[in-house]
Amino acid sequence: MGSHTLFTALIVAALGLSQLDSCLAIQCYNCTSTDNGENCLKNPASFSTVDCTTDCFTSAEPGNITRGCLSGDANCSGFNCNSCNSDKCNTNLVCQQCLGLAECGSSNVTDSKYNVVCGSTDQFCVNQVNENQTVTRQCGSACATDAKPDTCSSCNTALCNEGMYPTTRLQCYSCTGETCNTPAITSLTACELVSAQCYMTGTSATAMQRGCTSDAGAKCQVGSTDTSCVICNTTSCNNLAYERDAGTCIECTNCAAEQNTTIAKSCGKLTYNQEDLGCYTLNNGTVTRGCLTAEQGACTTENSCKKCSEANCNVAAEAVEFQCAMCNTLTDAKCQAGVDAPLTACTSNNCFYGYWNGAGIRGCFDQASELMQYQCVNEKSHECVQCTTSLCNKVPFSGADTLKKLSVGLLVGLVLALRYTL
């Protein structure tokens, strides 16, 4: 009888302890990313819970995220593990952590070796640019509401602070030597510092060097005056080969009509540190087309020149205004040669040039006085020539008398007699 009573008491005690353990247990999410996939990392609440008589935990080991009940003798501390002691508390974010190292701003900060478990469930994944232009990634408080996204960024989903930061950070080709003339896409690398730019330099197709100005041992720095250094500030801009085709353009003179691209000619070669110049169309009464060169100087609307940068882009038809040189050798030194003489529009499509009393005169035929028109047509002594193509009266004068042969009185008399306004 006594032994039976004792046995019953032991059973009751065991049941009581079991119920006590059940009352003391906490619920923890239980999963591993190896077995349960990405949801264990990003959505642990989608899993069922288990009763734990110890703490709940979240750990981030290379290649695996684990959530569940912490073993009694397990060590859960540091950046890779966090424990907690309340129902369903092990939903901690997993973020990337990289503290001011050279690689912290680059796009390759996605490796699981950077994964850390945030210490509390109210933390965010944070990226921040440091004063020295490096980047820190970690768990922490959210960025200030007025923070610029390219200096501080915070988010609250797993690993949301991975990848390149800021997104505006330049990526430059990084290589040197024989294979660097045509850089491979795999050599495109994010610059270590936010303020860095891309560069390229070289002496031949087999001796090119490319990289970021922030690289250790960079051959070119921002602000360099070395003409062999090309600095640029857009992603992958340092991709030019040592020598490249300068393109093709239409090359012709007195060609106002639309041109056919099949007659385009090569503009030669450019090295990596020479600017693409493109094509031009000059319309100063006669249309001229060709390849722009650095030696040609400015091509602007002020000098009736248009430029373009695409291959064969100077093909469009040009409306040509009929023009004549308008000057006299008594008042304009450029009038003698005629090449740079002042121009004027002439509606009659008729120019002239000739000599009167030792003075060379050019102009629109219909704007000359009746006497000059008569003399030009009928008197060979004035050596006057009419012509009917634009700018045709720019032919240089030869054997003309100079201003020294004329007195001031003769000049005044000439102007009054000819009644020609110059």
CATH of the domain at 83: 2.10.60
Task: Give yes or no: residues 73 and 62 share one domain.
Answer: yes
Task: Give yes or no: residues 268 and 284 share one domain.
Answer: yes
Q: Is residue 7 part of a domain?
A: no
Among the candidates 194, 216, 241, a domain finishes at 241
- pLDDT higher than 60, residue 21: no
Task: Give yes or no: residues 355 and 301 share one domain.
Answer: no
Q: How confident is the model at residue 126 (pLDDT cuts 50, 70, 90)?
A: very high
Task: Encode pLDDT of 226-267 as tens digits.
Answer: 999 999 999 999 999 999 999 999 999 989 999 999 999 999
Contact 169, 130 (CB under 8 A): no
Q: Is residue 355 part of a domain?
A: yes
Q: How confident is the model at residue 4 (pLDDT cuts 50, 70, 90)?
A: low
Task: Give yes or no: residues 335 and 386 share one domain.
Answer: yes
Rounded mean pLDDT, 158-164: 92
Q: Structure tokens of 136? A: 């820190």
Range of the domain at 273: 248-308
- Cβ neighbours around 281 below 10 Å, total: 25
Q: 3-class DSSP state for residue 289? A: strand
pLDDT at residue 399, rounded to an integer: 56
Q: How confident is the model at residue 3 (pLDDT cuts 50, 70, 90)?
A: low
Task: Give yes or no: residues 201 and 227 share one domain.
Answer: yes
How far is Cα of residue 160 from the mean position of the Cα atoms in its chain?
27
Task: Give yes or no: residues 209 and 284 share one domain.
Answer: no
**pLDDT over 70, % of the chain:** 88
Q: 3-class DSSP state for residue 361? A: strand
Task: Give yes or no: residues 235 and 274 share one domain.
Answer: no
- pLDDT higher than 60, residue 412: no
Rounded mean pLDDT, 84-105: 93
Task: Give yes or no: residues 236 and 268 share one domain.
Answer: no
Among the candidates 241, 276, 295, a domain finishes at 241
- pLDDT higher than 70, residue 396: yes
Task: Encode pLDDT of 164-209 as tens digits.
Answer: 899 888 999 999 999 999 999 999 999 988 889 999 999 999 999 9
Q: Is residue 13 part of a domain?
A: no
Among the candidates 241, 272, 299, a domain finishes at 241
Burial 157-166 (b: 16+ CB within 10 A, else e): ebbbbbbbbb
- pLDDT higher than 90, residue 276: no
Q: Is residue 161 part of a domain?
A: no
Task: Give yes or no: residues 289 and 220 share one domain.
Answer: no
pLDDT at residue 110, rounded to an integer: 81
Distance CA 343, CA 394 (A): 10
Burial 334-365 (b: 16+ CB within 10 A, else e): ebbebeebebbebeeebbbbbbbbbbbbbbbb
What contacts 217, CB < 8 A, 6 or more positions away? none
Q: What's the whole-model pTM score?
A: 0.60
- pLDDT higher than 80, residue 301: yes
pLDDT at residue 296, rounded to an integer: 64
pLDDT at residue 23, rounded to an integer: 56
Mean residue pLDDT across the chain: 86
Rounded mean pLDDT, 323-339: 93
Q: How confident is the model at residue 319 (pLDDT cuts 50, 70, 90)?
A: confident
Distance CA 395, CA 386 (A): 12
- pLDDT higher than 50, residue 14: no
For the chain, what is the domain count?
5
